[in-house]
Amino acid sequence: MSEEIFKKVVSHSKEYGFVFPSSEIYDGLGAIYDYGQNGVELKNNIRQYWWKSMVNLHDNIVGLDSAIFMHPKVWKASGHVDGFSDPMIDNKDSKKRYRADNLLEERIAKYEKDGKTNKAEELQAAMDKAILDNDLPALKALIEQHEIACPVSGTRTWTDVRQFNLMYKTQMGALAEDAEDVYLRPETAQGIFVNFLNVQKTGRMKIPFGIAQTGKAFRNEVVARGFIMRMREFEQMEMQFFVRPGTEMEWYTHWKEQRLKWHNALGANPANYRFHDHVKLAHYANAAVDIEYKFPIGFREVEGIHSRTDFDLSQHQQFSGKKLQYFDPEVNQNYIPYVVETSIGLDRMFLLTMCESFKEEQVQNGEQTETRTVLNLPPALAPVKLAVFPLVKKDGLPEMARTIISDLKYEINCQYEEKDSIGKRYRRHDAIGTPFCITIDYESLQDESVTIRHRDTMTQERVKIAALKDLILPKVSMTELLKKLG
Ligand code: ATP
């Protein structure tokens, strides 16, 4: 059933111009997607909500836009060249490759669904231990013991488990012999670390302070499934917060709370969120937690909050030979700051927003009951805030509609629609989550009023054109959403 809902969200995203498979006329490209006319608006609004909440609402957080290509030594220093890999296993019959931990997680979920809680817990503990010990043969043994078969071939003839690096490599330089290997960044964070001193010095930043950036990241995910949940090219929104060593756990708790507050302000059902502490900490972390959301296909990570110690800055200091220290006048000491990071996938947040707001409701239309598909998006995130309909395409009504749009368009994203019946126009805008629609009729020419229709309640009221802005703007503005964060 839930899988069905997920499929509906995927097809709705395509049908209404939110997300298209990349190069679709060539049958698409694995796990790469494009955002359509409505998708790009929604994505920009989510990004803006994040950016403003981080950069504009904090006087000690500033932004950055670093390049995708970086010096190859960056990835040596960060540990990505040697350690950014997933445990993979191939099925010999189907030749399909899987992440060993994902196969086991799916089995655990199945045990839980079948009420076999003990078995689920036992397998979870054994898998956690194998991952913690980096014991690849033990992972394979678990796959065999639990008789996990390849979903494609149905057989259980597996290769050994091996590590597979996820970074994309390319060459820089015109001549093959001089060309240097460079990587497409697998995370935006390293661009922040290598600019730490540039920003600190030129911005005269005092610890604690943060640097935020949004941008593309690339990972050669072997198993890229679940629509835009796991892509090979995606966007991250990351903030690295530099703190005095020893204070990192306070800041870790602080950012954990702040980030959940950011999610909750969007009005999703709080029961759909949970924290998941990491069992196996990454090589750079001394504490890590995921914020997970209950997608129709189950709980999945949307955001990570990591206490990264001084690992990254120390590594870059060592590999570059440049000092990356901060003089703290309050304690009269030089030190390499510790870092607490918040890292959220913009595309996953987009998917979360689509899943949370996608609704199919039974509504009465005269004698008949029909299904209404509506995206009850938080109004500040909606691609279009106000749809403007002239009742007919003549007698001055379109002109009046255009005049209203001209007045409002600088502050409110409006869309003009004159095709089809008003009912059909409502349905189209319900499907893309437009919070308000107004209809201009013959009476409007006399009384300077229009009928406004509210997306969620479908109620209609008559309002003066002059009052539209004051009625709509507070409900759709990003400012009001941001004010909820206090
Ligand atoms: P996962 O365990 O799902 O692979 P991760 O722990 O490797 O994710 P991080 O490196 O912490 O992810 O990246 C931070 C965020 O970036 C994730 O919480 C997720 O929202 C997003 N993200 C990571 N990988 C992808 C991907 N392949 N496609 C889309 N978003 C991603």
pLDDT value for 1? 54
In DSSP notation, 28-53 reads --TT-EEE-HHHHHHHHHHHHHHHII
Lowest-confidence region among 2-6, 8-12, 395-399, 421-425: 2-6
Q: Return the ligand 1 atom nearest residue 231 CA.
A: 28
Half-sphere exposure of residue 240: CA atoms within 13 angstroms, side-chain side: 25
Question: Does residue 218's CB lie within 6 angstroms of at least one atom of ligand 1?
Answer: no
Q: Is the pLDDT of residue 86 over 90?
A: no
Q: Return the ligand 1 atom nearest residue 221 CA.
A: 27
pLDDT value for 180? 83
- What is the 8-class DSSP label of residue 68? S
Residue nearest to atom 30 of ligand 1 (CA): 345
Placement of tokens 């509506």 in the chain: 374
Confidence of residue 65 (pLDDT cuts 50, 70, 90): very high
Question: Does residue 219's CB lie within 6 angstroms of at least one atom of ligand 1?
Answer: yes
Q: Which of 274, 199, 278 is nearest to 239 (CA)?
A: 199
In DSSP notation, 357-386 reads HEEEEEEEETTEEEEEEEE---GGG-S-SE
CA of 392 to the centre of ligand 1 (A): 49
Residue nearest to atom 8 of ligand 1 (CA): 301
Residue to probe by mutation, ligand 1, list 86, 231, 348, most atoms within 8 Å of CB: 348
Residue nearest to atom 1 of ligand 1 (CA): 301
Residue nearest to atom 21 of ligand 1 (CA): 345
pLDDT above 70 coverage of the chain, percent = 99
CA of 451 to the centre of ligand 1 (A): 45
Residues 6+ apart with CB under 8 A from 190: 70, 74, 75, 78, 312
**Domains and their CATH numbers in the chain:** 2-84+166-354 (3.30.930.10), 379-483 (3.40.50.800)
Q: Return the ligand 1 atom nearest residue 303 CA.
A: 18
Report the alpha-carbon distance of residue 238 to residue 185 in Å, rounded. Answer: 13
pLDDT value for 410? 97
Token readout for 481 is: 């959403």
Question: Does residue 234's CB lie within 6 angstroms of at least one atom of ligand 1?
Answer: yes
Question: Does residue 429's CB lie within 6 angstroms of at least one atom of ligand 1?
Answer: no
Question: Does residue 231's CB lie within 6 angstroms of at least one atom of ligand 1?
Answer: yes
Question: Does residue 350's CB lie within 6 angstroms of at least one atom of ligand 1?
Answer: no
Question: Does residue 455's CB lie within 6 angstroms of at least one atom of ligand 1?
Answer: no
Mean pLDDT of 243-260: 98
Confidence of residue 373 (pLDDT cuts 50, 70, 90): very high
pLDDT value for 174? 73
* Pairing of β 386-390 and β 436-440: parallel
Residue nearest to atom 12 of ligand 1 (CA): 304
pLDDT value for 200? 98
Report the alpha-carbon distance of residue 275 to residue 127 in Å, rounded. Answer: 20
Token readout for 51 is: 């950016």
pLDDT tens-digit readout, 117-173:
999 999 999 998 998 888 999 999 999 999 999 999 999 999 999 988 999 999 988
Report the alpha-carbon distance of residue 101 to residue 136 in Å, rounded. Answer: 10
Residue nearest to atom 26 of ligand 1 (CA): 230
Exposure string (b/e) for 364-394, b if CB count within 10 Å is 16 or more?
eeeeeeeeeebbbbbbbbbbbbbbbbbbeee
pLDDT value for 399? 98
Q: Return the ligand 1 atom nearest residue 345 CA.
A: 20
Average pLDDT for the chain: 95
Q: How far apart, in Å, are the Cα atoms of 444 and each of 249, 429, 435, 436?
A: 61, 22, 21, 17
Report the alpha-carbon distance of residue 61 to residue 6 in Å, rounded. Answer: 36
